[in-house]
């Protein structure tokens, strides 16, 4: 499908999005025991891949086509879970978020505006109506990257990120006392080389902050990095050696092959789709839809799956280590090609079976 087709499809669905929040192309078709199985037949390939055991059959369809099938249950929609996206902020008025997104903090004391689209892409993979895993999660932007940022000052970069992580922990801890607290996931969709951390000299404080996040019962998903090198040499991913409760995610393509640029090795816990992923971007750009590749998008999918698992496993709500074990146990084994010494596991929600595919 050409981008223009995606664009017009998007524009067509905007009016309906302002009314009831039922995504287009989604229907409750099967009743399975007590839980409704919902099928979205307008999904990106990534959502089909994580909800099926079989590889994606394209039958001539392009990667960006929105005719793949995502199957989930109403228990997987992440309702009540807060996801802290530490990044560039979120375009919170994007209709794909149906009012579930807000920007909480900017470490730059600016207007909280998302200027890049990167944070909105992640938010879309986590929980947008059409491209997201958990379609009713609450998305919270924590802005730590800004065009205002002085790139010659790595210490300020690390300080901003660390401060953003701390803000997310404070928001998480403040919600714990609520009777209907459901848990939190923090998404770190970036990575910087070891040299930058060494030059900055304050990386140890960020590591301590991640230790605190895990100790305080917050699930943390981290992008492996996109340099095609050892993920242990990229941070925050490399902190997993000392903070094993965080989950480091590499990226695969539609053929279940590791992306060439996806960082690899012992610090990668598992892989998720990350090549040619359709998601949201700034609503004023290209109709608010963008196809892109990277471990930041793969990490977003894992974040969405964890948000869904929290509802089904109340005992793991505040147990990041137990949740990590569950996500790795459920993942598909021995399918991935090119894992290169770590994380030979492919994200899987555990939805039984495969979608019925009919081609004419």
Ligand X SMILES: *[C@@H]1O[C@H](CO)[C@@H](O)[C@H](O)[C@H]1NC(C)=O
Minimum distance of ligand X from residue 144's CB (angstroms): 8
Which C-beta is closer to ligand X: that of 78 or that of 320? 78
Residue 103 touches ligand X, criterion: CB under 6 A: no
Closer to ligand X by Cβ: residue 81 or 237: 81
- What mask of x and - would describe binding to ligand X in positions 137 to 156, judged by CB under 6 A? ------------xx--x--x
d(CA 197, CA 218): 24
107 forms part of the interface with ligand X (CB under 6 A):
yes
Site for ligand X in 121-140 (CB under 6 A): 135-136
**Nearer to ligand X (CB atom), residue 77 or residue 253:** 77
Measure CA of the first residue to CA of the last residue in the chain; give whole Å. 17
Among 163, 173, 286, 354, binds ligand X (CB under 6 A): 163
Q: Which listed residue (3, 41, 67, 79) binds ligand X by CB under 6 A?
A: 79
Exposed/middle/buried for 256, CB within 10 Å: 0-12, 13-18, 19+?
A: middle
Angle between helices 295-312 and 320-330 (to 10 degrees): 110
Residue 194 CA: distances (Å) to CA of 98, 239, 245, 284, 316: 39, 11, 21, 35, 32
Question: 5 or 28, CB closer to ligand X?
Answer: 28
Distances (CA, A) of 272 to 46, 258, 305: 8, 9, 11
Give dist(CA 2, CA 315) in Å, integer: 45
Q: Where are the alpha helices (DSSP H) in 176-289?
A: 194-200, 203-215
- Least distance to ligand X, CB of residue 225, Å: 22
Binding of ligand X at residue 159 (CB under 6 A)? Answer: yes
Residues 192-251 that bind ligand X (CB under 6 A): none
Q: Which residues contact 213 (CB under 8 A, 6 or more apart)?
A: 165, 168, 169, 172, 186, 220, 246
Nearer to ligand X, 190 or 264 (CB): 190
- The contact set with ligand X (CB under 6 A) reads 21, 77, 79, 98, 107-108, 135-136, 149-150, 153, 156, 159-160, 163
């Amino acid at each position: 499908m050409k981008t223009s087709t995606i664009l017009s499809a998007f524009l067509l669905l905007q009016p309906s999005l302002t009314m009831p929040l039922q995504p287009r192309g989604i229907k409750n078709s099967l009743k399975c025991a007590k839980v409704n199985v919902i099928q979205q037949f307008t999904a990106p390939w990534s959502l089909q891949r994580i909800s099926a055991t079989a590889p994606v059959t394209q039958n001539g369809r392009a990667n960006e086509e929105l005719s793949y099938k995502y199957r989930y249950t109403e228990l997987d929609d992440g309702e009540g879970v807060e996801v802290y996206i530490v990044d560039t902020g979120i375009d919170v008025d994007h209709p794909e978020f149906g009012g579930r997104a807000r920007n909480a903090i900017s470490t730059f004391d600016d207007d909280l505006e998302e200027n890049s689209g990167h944070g909105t892409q992640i938010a879309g993979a986590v929980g947008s109506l059409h491209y997201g895993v958990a379609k009713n999660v609450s998305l919270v932007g924590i802005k730590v990257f800004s065009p205002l940022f002085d790139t010659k000052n790595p210490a300020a970069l690390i300080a901003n990120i660390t401060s953003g992580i701390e803000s997310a922990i404070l928001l998480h801890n403040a919600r714990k006392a609520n009777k209907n607290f459901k848990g939190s996931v923090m998404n770190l969709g970036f990575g910087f080389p070891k040299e930058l951390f060494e030059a900055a000299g304050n990386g140890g404080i960020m590591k301590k902050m991640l230790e605190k996040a895990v100790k305080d019962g917050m699930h943390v998903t981290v992008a492996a990095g996109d340099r095609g090198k050892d993920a242990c040499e990229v941070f925050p991913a490399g902190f997993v050696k000392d903070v094993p409760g965080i989950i480091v995610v590499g990226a695969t393509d539609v053929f279940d092959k590791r992306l060439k640029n996806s960082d690899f090795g012992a610090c990668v816990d598992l892989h998720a789709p990350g090549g040619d992923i359709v998601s949201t971007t700034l609503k004023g750009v290209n109709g608010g839809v963008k196809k892109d590749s990277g471990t930041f998008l793969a990490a977003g999918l894992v974040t969405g799956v964890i948000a869904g698992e929290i509802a089904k496993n109340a005992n793991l709500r505040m147990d990041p280590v137990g949740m990590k074990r569950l996500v790795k146990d459920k993942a598909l084994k021995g399918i991935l090609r090119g894992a290169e010494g770590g994380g030979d596991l492919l994200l899987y929600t555990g939805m039984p079976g495969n979608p019925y595919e009919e081609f004419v």
